[in-house]
Structures are given as C-alpha cells and as structure tokens.
C-alpha cells in the first residue's frame, strides 16, 4: 500500500479521492509534474516544483502553496513510503471546485502521489528505440497541464507501431518534442535540441549542462527533412533518462545502431544522477521564474 498526500492529509492510495466537481475532472484544468528519486532523494525537486508553479501561472491557475511548502510535502510523502526503494513522484494541482463548473476560483488542491519507480527494458538502451512522428502538438507547450489528450492519443499510435514514443511535428515540419520527452539529435558533430514550443524538461537542462563539456550544443529548429543527416538521436525524460533512438518512422538513423556520442551522454547522466542522489554534486540549472514567486521560493537543497 502506498501513501499519498491529498489536500492536507496523508492517506492510503485506495482512499485517495477528490471531488467529482473539481474542474480538473470536468474540464481537464490542472497542472502536474513528475520526477523520480535517486538514492531516495528527489532529483532536482526545486526545478520540478518551479516548473509546476510556472505551468500554473501560464494557464491561469492560482497555487496557494509556496515552492518551499510543496518541496517539504513531497519529501515527507517520499519518506512515508520507504518500501518503494526508488520512487516515481507525481505532483498534481487541481483547478478546484468552481460555481459555474468553468471559471477557476482559487480553490485548487495539491496532491502528491508516489509509486515504485518502474524499470524500462534494458534492450531499449543497448539496442536503441523506435519512435514515430505525429502531426500534433500541445496547447500552451511551456505548461505541463493535465490536458494531455494529444499525448495519450499519440502514445497509443506509437505503441500500435512498435515504438516507444511519438514525436510531435508541426505544420512547418518542425520536430518539437515527444509526447512525454524532449528531443535531441547530432547533425555533424553538433548536438541540437529545439528551443521553441517545447516543455522545458529538467532532464533536458541537465543534459545541456553535461554535454557542454563534450560537444558543441545548439538550441534551434529541427525539420523532418534533416532526419537523413542525423548521426545520432536520443530522447530525454525523468522516467526514461537518456534513451537512444535508432529509428524514426521507418527510417533508420545512420547505421541503425546506438552510437558513441549518445553512449557518452548516457554515461555522464547516469554518473551525475548517482552522485546527485548521494548529495555529492548539483548542477546549477536555470530556474523558471514566476512573477511574484521569486522572492518567496526560498528553496532548500532537495
């Protein structure tokens, strides 16, 4: 049995309920964030909570908790679930109950749900993964809102085609991001990741910092017509870390095998996450500042 935090109370997971009248249920109006632990320490917790605050500000949802309060609640929830080994943490802030069922009235609730962190099949990392592309995108892409219809739809399409992820491609043929991942590729020896119309992934930020030591890095638009020029490709996310991609739709990337550049980045990430978990190192990542929040965030090291 897992213990969740729901609106001020710690409860067993099978007793975790919210109102059917909350506009997160009625309208999909809410925000969430997801992170994992290493050595039981939540990975870059302040950045994830900062992004939650930023997501809320962007969709017009008022969060009544400070960043510090949310971080403390997350740490407490993790510590109440010691049986999990490593945890996967979901932080959700709902739109709350609204008199007309549509207009947010600042009555949202905070939920923190932790589960055992699932392992992904090792062959995806040794042999590489297939991804597909979909002609879709997200409304307000800088916000991680609970309105993930396009992601659920795209992920189903990916699974039906034996792929792990679907990449959003827009009308200008730009590759933006995956349904729940960020996208990176090497063209020549330069590492490239899209800058605009994507979620600012925490793993993405970590990779950009780590990669600086080894490769030239550029944030810029990437188009589908550039796929044949890509030497190596990978996707990043809290639950996937750095996952090599060897096929996009039916097109193999270079020789269709995991290359040395991605391996180097996978190794650097794994070493860093391990060391972060043990409290030995911490990269200075860019914070997403929210108006009015900067002064009160007072984040302590997670």
Ligand X SMILES: Cc1ncc(COP(=O)(O)O)c(C=O)c1O
Q: Nearest distance from residue 204's CB to ligand X, in Å?
A: 6
Stretch that binds ligand X, among 14-22, 113-121, 232-240, 266-274 (CB under 6 A): 232-240
Q: Which is nearer to ligand X, 34 or 276 (CB)?
A: 34
Q: Which is nearer to ligand X, 81 or 181 (CB)?
A: 181
Q: Which is nearer to ligand X, 130 or 204 (CB)?
A: 204
x/- binding map, residues 165-204, to ligand X, per CB under 6 A?
------------x--xxx----------------x-xxxx
Stretch that binds ligand X, among 22-30, 188-196, 231-239, 267-275 (CB under 6 A): 231-239
Q: Which is nearer to ligand X, 88 or 254 (CB)?
A: 88
Q: Which is nearer to ligand X, 89 or 199 (CB)?
A: 199
Q: Which is nearer to ligand X, 98 or 181 (CB)?
A: 181
Beta bridge partners of 245: 129, 233
Q: How far is Cα 178 from Cα 187, in angstroms, rounded to an integer?
A: 19
User: In this chain, which of 31, 113, 192, 237 binds ligand X, going by CB under 6 A?
Assistant: 237
Stretch that binds ligand X, among 112-120, 235-243, 263-271, 278-286 (CB under 6 A): 235-243
**Sign of the dihedral through C-alpha 278, 295, 288, 217:** negative
Residue linked to tokens 């995956």: 178
Q: Nearest distance from residue 36's CB to ligand X, in Å?
A: 9
Q: How far is Cα 229 from Cα 196, in angstroms, rounded to an integer?
A: 21
236 binds ligand X (CB under 6 A): yes
DSSP result, the chain: --EEEETTEEEEGGG----TTBHHHHH--EEEEEEEEETTEETTHHHHHHHHHHHHHHHT----S-HHHHHHHHHHHHHT-GGGSSEEEEEEEE-BB-TTSSS--SB--EEEEEEEPPPPPTHHHHT-EEEEEES---SSTTS-BS--HHHHHHHHHHHHTT-SEEEEE-TT-BEEEESSSEEEEEETTEEEE--SSS---HHHHHHHHHHTTTSEEEE---BGGGGGGEEEEEEEETTTEEEEEEEETTEESTTSS--HHHHHHHHHHHHHHHHHHTTS----PPP---TTTTTT--PPP-
CB 99 within 8 A of CB 57: no
Q: Nearest distance from residue 202's CB to ligand X, in Å?
A: 4
Q: Nearest distance from residue 180's CB to ligand X, in Å?
A: 4
Q: Nearest distance from residue 3's CB to ligand X, in Å?
A: 23
Q: Nearest distance from residue 51's CB to ligand X, in Å?
A: 7
Q: Nearest distance from residue 145's CB to ligand X, in Å?
A: 10
Q: Nearest distance from residue 262's CB to ligand X, in Å?
A: 16
Q: Which is nearer to ligand X, 96 or 201 (CB)?
A: 201
User: In this chain, which of 5, 29, 34, 43 binds ligand X, going by CB under 6 A?
Assistant: 34
Interface with ligand X by CB under 6 A: which residues? 34, 144, 177, 180-182, 199, 201-204, 236-238
């Amino acid at each position: 049995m897992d213990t969740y935090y729901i609106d001020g109370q710690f409860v067993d997971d099978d007793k975790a309920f919210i109102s059917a009248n909350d506009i997160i249920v009625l309208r999909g109006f809410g925000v969430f964030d997801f992170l994992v632990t290493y050595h039981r320490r939540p990975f870059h917790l302040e950045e994830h909570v900062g992004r939650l605050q930023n997501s809320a500000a962007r969709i017009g949802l008022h969060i009544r908790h400070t960043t510090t309060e949310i971080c403390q609640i997350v740490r407490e929830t993790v510590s109440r679930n010691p049986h999990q080994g490593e945890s996967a943490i979901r932080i959700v802030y709902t739109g709350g109950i609204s008199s007309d069922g549509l207009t947010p009235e600042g009555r949202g609730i905070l939920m923190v749900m932790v589960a055992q962190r699932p392992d992904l099949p090792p062959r995806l990392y040794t042999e590489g993964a297939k991804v597909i592309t979909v002609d879709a995108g997200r409304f307000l892409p800088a916000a991680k809102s609970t309105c993930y219809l396009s992601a659920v739809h795209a992920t189903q399409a990916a699974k039906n085609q034996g792929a792990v992820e679907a990449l959003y491609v827009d009308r200008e043929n730009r590759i933006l991001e995956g349904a729940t991942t960020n996208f990176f590729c090497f063209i020549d020896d330069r590492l490239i990741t899209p800058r605009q119309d994507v979620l600012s992934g925490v793993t993405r930020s970590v990779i950009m910092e780590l990669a600086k030591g080894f490769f030239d890095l550029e944030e810029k638009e990437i188009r589908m017509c550039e796929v044949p020029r890509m030497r190596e490709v990978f996707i990043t996310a809290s639950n996937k870390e750095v996952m090599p991609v060897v096929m996009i739709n039916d097109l193999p990337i270079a020789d269709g095998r995991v290359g040395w550049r991605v391996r180097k980045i996978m190794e650097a990430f794994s070493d860093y996450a391990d060391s972060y978990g043990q409290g030995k190192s911490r990269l200075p990542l860019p914070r997403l500042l929210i108006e009015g929040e900067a002064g009160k965030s007072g984040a302590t090291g997670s």
